[in-house]
Amino acid sequence: MSRPESGRVLYSELEYPWGKPPLPGEVQEVADGVLWLRMPMPLGLDHINLYLLQHGNGWVIVDTGLALDQSRSVWERVFEEVIHNEPVVGIIATHFHFDHSGLLGWLSERFRCPVYMTQGEYQSLFISPSESSEANWEFRQFYQLCGVSDAQISEFYKGLKRGHYQRIYPRSYRRLKEGSVLEIGKRRWRVVVGSGHSPEHACLYCEDDQLFISGDQVLPRISSSVSVVAIEPDANPLADWLASLQHLRKVADEVLVLPAHERPFYGLHKRLEQLERHHRLHLQTVVDALGSKSMTINELRPLLFPKVKDNFDLMLATGETLAHLNFLWDEGVVHRAQQGNCYRYGLAQREDSALESNGLLVSA
């Protein structure tokens, strides 16, 4: 899940070897034995890129698509027309998000083959929105503290319960860690782990052939959502994300980046730099806005995300605004105070009697 990033200049600084993506159900060979499959999705972001890696007379799949009949029928076509009913011998999930892991269980069951993912991502699969038709108090309180209205919170909750977020779970997995090596066909792929978009996201790096399957950890044109959610209200995913951008610099700049959304590109280090700048600018926007007054998350959100397409987008934008606030809070740059149901934020060094005389004053 990702959000559009403004600015065409950034887009043009990267080099895209393929002008158009393959049609749904068709593939583009991006390297010998590496196929790029574009899977359609009925979301704001209308597709995900999946990859098939040849392994002898079989195939390894990287990411799966949403758990929908539409995705299953694309896969059926691929099995028949692209890999000619050769077996799938393993499935790698870069991370637990629904578009990447929705069909892990279905594919694993169908081919009786293992699923490879990190422990953090496997465990996250099992943290689902509640079965209840009404939002639980933790979910409601989390968004109230952000300054979101009760009616809007109910809309957020309804959106999370949509059918395409259902998954078929794999019952077992093989654990990937930072530095794990997978031998697939004639290639060795080393696991590089990132965090901030999801807990323990696996990227795959083939140093010999300069290929890098980046999942959602590095995307061109759009920036991955770095969001705080109700399950951990005080999380600081932006610190993890910025550290991961540094960590990914150990991957060679020359690689062909194979991302989960948009198109494959060259220019990894440039893109890492752009993504860092994007978040530093957002942090500065927040600090500037708080220069003269205290504000809620909901008041700050439009400054960072002036355009939101739908409720899901609004929920992500709220969580991402909070990610920037939690980062600044951990750094001691801002403080927060609860007034009624809602947090208000101000600059830490600023005397603010209204903040200090109302509710609990909490700092990092």
Contact residues toward Zn ion (CB under 5 A) are 97, 216
Question: What is the sign of the dihedral through the CA atoms of 16, 20, 22 and 27?
Answer: negative
With respect to Zn ion, which residue has the nearer C-beta, 201 or 282? 201
Closest distance to Zn ion from the beta carbon of 57 (Å): 32
Closest distance to Zn ion from the beta carbon of 46 (Å): 15
With respect to Zn ion, which residue has the nearer C-beta, 39 or 295? 39
Q: Is there a contact between 39 and 50 (Cβ–Cβ < 8 Å)?
A: yes
299 by Cβ neighbours in 10 Å (0-12 / 13-18 / 19+) ranks as middle
46 vs 21: CA distance, rounded Å? 13
Closest distance to Zn ion from the beta carbon of 224 (Å): 6
Residues 6 or more apart whose CB falls under 8 angstroms from that of 291 comprise 347
Compute and round to an integer the Cα radius of gyration of the chain.
21
Closest distance to Zn ion from the beta carbon of 198 (Å): 6
Closest distance to Zn ion from the beta carbon of 118 (Å): 14
With respect to Zn ion, which residue has the nearer C-beta, 216 or 313? 216
With respect to Zn ion, which residue has the nearer C-beta, 196 or 346? 196
CB atoms within 10 A of CB 184: 22
Tokens 């893109």 belong to residue? 271
With respect to Zn ion, which residue has the nearer C-beta, 247 or 293? 247
With respect to Zn ion, which residue has the nearer C-beta, 170 or 215? 215
Q: Which residues of 234-247 are buried (b: 16+ CB within 10 A; e: fewer)?
A: ebbbbbbbbebbeb
CB atoms within 10 A of CB 210: 17
301 vs 117: CA distance, rounded Å? 33
For residue 258, the cross-strand partners are 213
Closest distance to Zn ion from the beta carbon of 167 (Å): 14
